[in-house]
Structure 1
């Protein structure tokens, strides 16, 4: 064996790194997935260095059995780094989408390692020792550093996509979320660059002193991993504490009837981001969209409802939804509002766009939104019903699987602003959720603890809005920022009566109270009816008798006055 101070120190440090990470996993030090992936990243990185040191110190020459346990950890470490980022940013769907490509190098070299081991134990029966060394050393190392770089670019793209998706959240919030990952990513890229320089140095100088030229590099990598462990652990602990505080605050905020209504559609973290960035009255708009979709039972109804409400609530000139035709690999216009619709729920002169072509086709292929301030400067622009100046398109997707595209154009250059991007992404998420429910034939029900119903009862009991003789479903729906249809269903389902009987019940209770109150003994019966919200004698008498079985005059004569 060939031990020296350098490889001995590196073996001790890398072993400590692995032992520390394994101990943290065994103890359950990190119960969240992000922490577990951090520990696995450290294990994979530490084991990579340990295996190389065992070769450098010629331990495997003395004990060939060690070769049996060698696996290509160097191709697993970048994968765990990607897992860590995806988990932390709540984008695991993106990792699942590309995991075959991310794991392919590891699988390939795992098979190669098996072949090399069999070849070595059969005294190189298949190919020579020189070829084995070329595959196990040069190919291994060169492809590992290349994979680390490609993986780094993919991770950087992931971070940027995440930041783009949080345009409605303050810049400070985004930076606090991603800054530590950026620092670690930058350091890792620098180390990979040094790694390449070392490889080039060895090629040029034909260094003949074994792996000693790598010692400083491995020490730098080990230093990085220990720093990563410290910073990552501290950051995750801080975030967990902040998350607990936010959860407490969120549980208080969620009693807001609009937020409570959205809670069944968006995940907790998504709702927290909406609340953090709610500078555009997002909850009010989303609340209306969500309730408007409640009673929709087929895909066409959902799509037409979305485009109609987008025009009405966001002051747009045009809104189109394209759906993916998987068999023909094209996008088909399924719903439109503006010039493309003539009021018959039929798209005028519908066009089809191949996936990957045009702005809309690019969005469908990449699953990333596009905001074009001036379409004249973009060769991808596809002219539809008329020439416009700006365009915005956002994918409608379910965990990375694109279902369609929500698209809008405007005659004003640079019309689409930050708030449009933020709200459109949430509307696309809302649409995808509803489509998913329909495809899975899941039903949504109204329960007695419905937040909108609670708010309605509060308005009736405390603000006494029933006293307005012109109160209507439309007025109350506008007050609650929900659709008229949903409000009607809400009242029918929970109270068991229609809107008119529901409101009149409150008015009758109020008139009964006034009819027996000593301060109102001089009031005419009709005046009491009008005071309670009825708009005529006939409606007052009819409703009163329907609810009590007697006329107001009989009720007043029989009932004792309150003291």
Structure 2
């Protein structure tokens, strides 16, 4: 049991008391929230971060007061929480932007310092129990103070750099679009991040001050720093709770929007490529972006290899975006060069061959620099740009975007134009989204995770709805191109949908609808005065022979026999 007299004799100076009194409420508040079991991952990471950060301060205060000298066994409960705090802040940042799967990939590296110092703390605790028989008290104190603190500062600053990179990558993850939607989210995260960086820098300055200024000794220089940290965590807690509630409310609104989007058949082709948040961002941009991306995604559906994918992308860039040329470079890891593998425009030699393909080393030219930095470049005037490498002809503007999947360089999507200032924000946005679509499709091919067509396909359902409501099959000139343009998908994808889901080709699929229409007319009293040919033409067939051939193929009898049979039955 604690001796009250002994406790009263300890170093209860006003600063110790102030720090302790300030930190204990936020500790209990976070503990209560964690035990409430009604938290999202983001909230949990935030509460644990605040809790453990304040426990670090409390542990040091208890040493300063002298409790651990009087009761050394208390040191058994001490933990190197300072090495968990940067990990928790990083986990919080990843969870906040909904990239927890990426954090899981790297968390083992972040936890290494904690594991090392957990083992060191265990050794020092054993040393205390054995009355410093393994290490002297002075050596143990130096390890605990110098190694511990300096390593924790280094880890905090490294985590700060990591989180800065995380935020910037997130903002650029889907082109210029995040600045319409994503920055609303990262603005708050940036404020928390900058505050943490500022406090970490102050921490470094206090350490340097202790080493440089003789009058600075003991814990005295740390008291203002600790109070600043505690103040930050109170702000973090209350602002965080309020902000995360707003985020949750916004998510409810987004769910309704996503529900509406799920009913939009054009979005369906993008669901396997982009996350829900990215889809929401795309949907909130101009409508033509969704339409163009939808066309690209459906056009890629039946492509089974890299060549098929990249040639299709370059062809559609020319056709859909009105470009003069489009080239895809693929990164050759063995040669350490970017190789021209697909091109439309003057570099197209026909039969899916690039005319005089060139190779560009990493860091050379605009293409090589974009591949090296993984950041897109838009050059409105190439005239004075020394980096520009002339290929088949000199042009005046260039847009280059990296193709990257899970931080791995796949290649570069590049387009040049003879006009200065040709490319705009729309091109940048679409190129980045197309680059992501390309990277994801190529990754799916590598993993052999192709998507099957089922009868709940949104395009197929939209096709059936269109045929039932508006009866476009009554038009004798209806063809694959007209239908694919209505659905805004490629003809090849439309053929695949019909073949695999309905089990028939496009012509037979339409004829079934026309035949059903003709059957109703042949047996309906309103059409009793119509000739057989007139009924066939009304149903959408363009000739008597086409009508008779199709009718007999599906019913086994002629239209006349079908009409007479039903007249007898009636």
Q: What TM-score do the two structures reach when normalised by structure 1?
A: 0.89
User: Mean alpha-carbon deviation: is it higher for 478-487 or for 151-160?
Assistant: 151-160
In structure 1, the gaps of 5 or more residues are none
Aligned to 1:206: 214
Is 2:550 the partner of 1:543?
Answer: yes
Task: Kindly provide the CA deviation profile for residues 415-450 of structure 1, in whole angstroms up to 9, marking residues without a partner as x.
Answer: 332222222222222222222222222232111111
Q: Indicate conservation of the 8 Å contact 1:517/1:561, yes or no.
A: no
Task: Kindly provide the CA deviation profile for residues 48-89 of structure 1, in whole angstroms up to 9, marking residues without a partner as x.
Answer: 212221232233333334445544433332222122112212
Q: What TM-score do the two structures reach when normalised by structure 2?
A: 0.88
Q: Deviation of residue 503 (structure 1)?
A: 1.0
Which of 13, 37, 45 pairs up with 1:37? Answer: 45
Alpha-carbon separation, structure 2, partners of 1:168 and 1:280: 16
Aligned to 2:36: 27
Aligned residues between the structures? 561
Aligned to 1:495: 502
Is 2:378 the partner of 1:404?
Answer: no
Q: Deviation of residue 23 (structure 1)?
A: 3.5
Aligned to 1:182: 190
Task: Kindly provide the CA deviation profile for residues 325-370 of structure 1, in whole angstroms up to 9, marking residues without a partner as x.
Answer: 3334333332222222211212222233334444333443444333
What's the secondary structure of 2:182's corresponding residue?
helix
Is 2:170 the partner of 1:165?
Answer: no
Q: Indicate conservation of the 8 Å contact 1:34/1:87, yes or no.
A: yes
Alpha-carbon separation, structure 1, partners of 2:95 and 2:117: 26
What's the secondary structure of 1:559's corresponding residue?
helix
Alpha-carbon separation, structure 2, partners of 1:378 and 1:101: 41
Matches within 5 A, 1:412-491: 412-491=419-498
Aligned to 1:298: 305
Task: Kindly provide the CA deviation profile for residues 463-507 of structure 1, in whole angstroms up to 9, marking residues without a partner as x.
Answer: 111121111111111111111111112112222221111111211
Alpha-carbon separation, structure 2, partners of 1:410 and 1:111: 61
Alpha-carbon separation, structure 1, partners of 2:387 and 2:75: 55
Matches within 5 A, 1:211-222: 211-222=219-230
Alpha-carbon separation, structure 2, partners of 1:315 and 1:397: 24
Q: Deviation of residue 27 (structure 1)?
A: 2.9
From the superposition, tell whether residues 350 and 398 of structure 1 become closer, same or farther in structure 2 (CA, over 3 Å).
same
Task: Kindly provide the CA deviation profile for residues 257-314 of structure 1, in whole angstroms up to 9, marking residues without a partner as x.
Answer: 111332233332222222122x051221122122212112222212221221122112
From the superposition, tell whether residues 368 and 561 of structure 1 become closer, same or farther in structure 2 (CA, over 3 Å).
farther
What's the secondary structure of 2:328's corresponding residue?
strand
What's the secondary structure of 2:221's corresponding residue?
helix
Task: Kindly provide the CA deviation profile for residues 510-529 of structure 1, in whole angstroms up to 9, marking residues without a partner as x.
Answer: 22223333333333332222
Task: Kindly provide the CA deviation profile for residues 125-147 of structure 1, in whole angstroms up to 9, marking residues without a partner as x.
Answer: 88876665555434544454454
Which of 5, 8, 13 pairs up with 2:22? Answer: 13
What's the secondary structure of 1:333's corresponding residue?
strand
Matches within 5 A, 1:73-222: 73-92=81-100, 95=103, 99=107, 102-103=110-111, 105-106=113-114, 109-110=117-118, 113=121, 133-167=141-175, 169=177, 171=179, 173-203=181-211, 205-207=213-215, 210-222=218-230
Aligned to 1:390: 397
Q: Indicate conservation of the 8 Å contact 2:174/2:432, yes or no.
A: no
Alpha-carbon separation, structure 2, partners of 1:364 and 1:22: 47
Alpha-carbon separation, structure 1, partners of 2:502 and 2:228: 69
User: Mean alpha-carbon deviation: is it higher for 468-477 or for 18-27?
Assistant: 18-27
Q: Indicate conservation of the 8 Å contact 2:459/2:487, yes or no.
A: yes
From the superposition, tell whether residues 381 and 53 of structure 1 become closer, same or farther in structure 2 (CA, over 3 Å).
farther
Is 2:271 the partner of 1:263?
Answer: yes
Aligned to 1:254: 262
Which of 305, 309, 314 pairs up with 2:316? Answer: 309
Which of 521, 537, 559 pairs up with 1:530? Answer: 537
What's the secondary structure of 1:492's corresponding residue?
helix
Is 2:250 the partner of 1:232?
Answer: no
From the superposition, tell whether residues 409 and 69 of structure 1 become closer, same or farther in structure 2 (CA, over 3 Å).
farther
Q: Deviation of residue 240 (structure 1)?
A: 1.8
Alpha-carbon separation, structure 2, partners of 1:372 and 1:289: 25
Aligned to 1:50: 58
From the superposition, tell whether residues 488 and 409 of structure 1 become closer, same or farther in structure 2 (CA, over 3 Å).
same
Alpha-carbon separation, structure 2, partners of 1:562 and 1:517: 13
From the superposition, tell whether residues 346 and 111 of structure 1 become closer, same or farther in structure 2 (CA, over 3 Å).
farther
Q: Deviation of residue 224 (structure 1)?
A: 0.9
Aligned to 1:509: 516
User: Mean alpha-carbon deviation: is it higher for 297-306 or for 322-331?
Assistant: 322-331
Q: Indicate conservation of the 8 Å contact 1:166/1:174, yes or no.
A: no
Q: Indicate conservation of the 8 Å contact 1:516/1:561, yes or no.
A: no
User: Mean alpha-carbon deviation: is it higher for 328-337 or for 500-509?
Assistant: 328-337
* RMSD of aligned alpha carbons: 3.1
Q: Indicate conservation of the 8 Å contact 1:94/1:400, yes or no.
A: no
Alpha-carbon separation, structure 2, partners of 1:102 and 1:311: 45
Task: Kindly provide the CA deviation profile for residues 147-205 of structure 1, in whole angstroms up to 9, marking residues without a partner as x.
Answer: 43443343233223322335554756334312221222233333334434444554554
Task: Kindly provide the CA deviation profile for residues 231-271 of structure 1, in whole angstroms up to 9, marking residues without a partner as x.
Answer: 11222222123212321332133112111332233332222
User: Mean alpha-carbon deviation: is it higher for 340-349 or for 204-213?
Assistant: 204-213
